[in-house]
Amino acid sequence: MNLLYDIGIYVQIVLLLYLGGSAFYLFVFALFSVFPLKTNPPVDFKKRRFAVLIPGYMEDEVIFEVVEHALQQNYPKENYDVVVIADKFQPDTIERLSRYPIILYNENFAISTKTRALNYALRALPENQYDIAVILDADNLMEKDFLAKLNDAFSYPFQAIQAHRIAKNLNTNFAVLDAVSEEINNNIFRKGHRKMGLSSALIGSAMAFRYQFFKTLMEDVEVVGGFDKELELRLLYNKHLIHYLDDAYVLDEKVQNVKVFTRQRRRWLSAQFHYFGKHFYPAITALFLNGNIDYFNKAFQYVQLPRILLLGLLVIISIISVFFNTLFLRLGWLVASFFIISALLLATPRKFYNLNTLKALTALPLGFSYMILSLLRIRGANKQFIHTKHTYNAFQIKKKDR
Sheet containing strand 207-210, strands side by side: 103-107, 80-87, 50-57, 132-135, 207-210, 160-167, 242-252, 141-142
Out of 68-82, 316-330, 350-364, 385-399, give the one with best mean pLDDT: 68-82
For the domain covering 50-255, report its CATH number: 3.90.550.10
Amino acid at position 286, single letter? A
For residues 301-318, average pLDDT: 89
Return the pLDDT at 249: 97
Angle made by CA atoms 350, 168, 59, in degrees to the nearest 5 = 160
Among the listed ranges 84-98, 224-238, 241-255, 328-342, which one has the minimum average pLDDT value?
224-238
Return the pLDDT at 378: 58
For residues 175-187, average pLDDT: 94
Closest by Cα among 139, 61, 64 to 104: 64
Out of 273-277, 357-361, 371-375, give the one with best mean pLDDT: 357-361
The chain-wide mean pLDDT, for the chain, equals 88
Domain with CATH 3.90.550.10 in the chain: 50-255
Return the pLDDT at 402: 44
